[in-house]
Amino acid sequence: MSSILHTIAIAAGGVLAGLALSGALLWRQQQALAVARYEATHDEITGLPNRRLFLTRLRAALGDTAPVGLVLLDLDRFKTVNDTLGHDTGNVLLDQVGRLLAGLPAPVQVAARLSGDEFALLVSGDHEDTAAAAHAAWQVIAAAPIRVVNGDISVPASVGHTHTRGQHASPRQLLAEADTAMYDAKRSGGGVCEYCPRGAPPQRRSRDRHYH
């Protein structure tokens, strides 16, 4: 091989190596971006959509003309689990509950963990569909003890639900209504409660942090 051809071959090899390195770096950057986007929209413990993604999906659903329902629930005595068995066990419990809720069939469209031990369901449908989803969520959690590292734990839930009732509604309104219903259920000792309009806007509570 002549010295010219040898020089060309070396240069071509360098170009190909550079292209391969650039491609690898670009792939890694794309992977890192995908991971960052996922972590920004999903809960790290359960893998469910987080509050940010849930609100995005809720706003999109409210932009359609079809009726929409919202279910909120939190776990009764969850603090006791954390205090007596440790936060690792509490995290396992949250993960198991998340799996149960994620497995609920249609009309449940999205199951999310908002914060702490509070979960939310976005339902496509009217009053009957939303009520059915709320009771299904309560039943699937209460149906059997949930297995964690320390054994089996029975942790019931308090569930509140509301729906659009045919009028324009905002995420803030639906979350406030479902929140009120959930606290009504909790004050009654657990179970499922539907939001009932009382002729005045539902009281704002500390959980208004979900709206921001």
- Mean pLDDT of the chain, nearest integer: 84
Paired with 113 in beta bridges are 119
For residue 134, give the H/E element and its range: helix 127-142
- pLDDT for position 16: 59
Q: Which helix (H) or strand (E) holds 159?
A: strand 157-163
Q: What is the pLDDT of residues 95-117, one digit of tens each?
A: 999 999 999 999 999 999 999 99
Range 70-99 burial, b when 16+ CB lie within 10 A, else e: bbbbbbbebeebbeebeeebbebbbbbbbe
What the block records as the tokens of 150 is 């320390």
pLDDT at 24 over 90: no
Is residue 30 predicted with pLDDT exceeding 70? Answer: no
pLDDT per residue over 147-165, tens digit each?
Answer: 887 788 888 999 999 999 8
The answer to whether residue 208 is catalytic is no
Pick 33 or 99 by higher pLDDT.
Answer: 99
Q: How far lies 13's CA from each of 22, 24, 26, 119, 149, in Å? A: 14, 16, 20, 56, 55
Q: What is the pLDDT of residue 34?
A: 61
**What local confidence, expressed as pLDDT, does residue 146 receive?**
85
Residue 16 — φ and ψ, nearest 5°? -65, -40
Identified catalytic residue from 43, 117, 129, 179: 117
Band the pLDDT of 128: cuts 50, 70, 90.
very high
Torsion sign, CA atoms 198, 200, 201, 202: negative
Looking at the predicted structure, is the pLDDT value of residue 5 above 60?
A: no
* Helix (H) or strand (E) segment spanning residue 162: strand 157-163
Question: Which of 16-30, 110-124, 125-139 is least confident?
Answer: 16-30
pLDDT in tens, 156-197: 999 999 999 866 789 999 999 999 999 999 999 889 999 998
pLDDT digits (tens, 9 = 90+) for 35-57: 667 889 999 999 999 999 999 99
Q: What CATH superfamily is the domain 51-211?
A: Reverse transcriptase/Diguanylate cyclase domain (3.30.70.270)
How much is the pLDDT for 210?
A: 45
What separation in angstroms does the CA of 142 have from each of 43, 94, 158, 212? 23, 14, 11, 31
Report the C-alpha dihedral over residues 26, 45, 99, 35, rounded to 10 degrees: -10
| pLDDT at residue 60 greater than cutoff 60 | yes
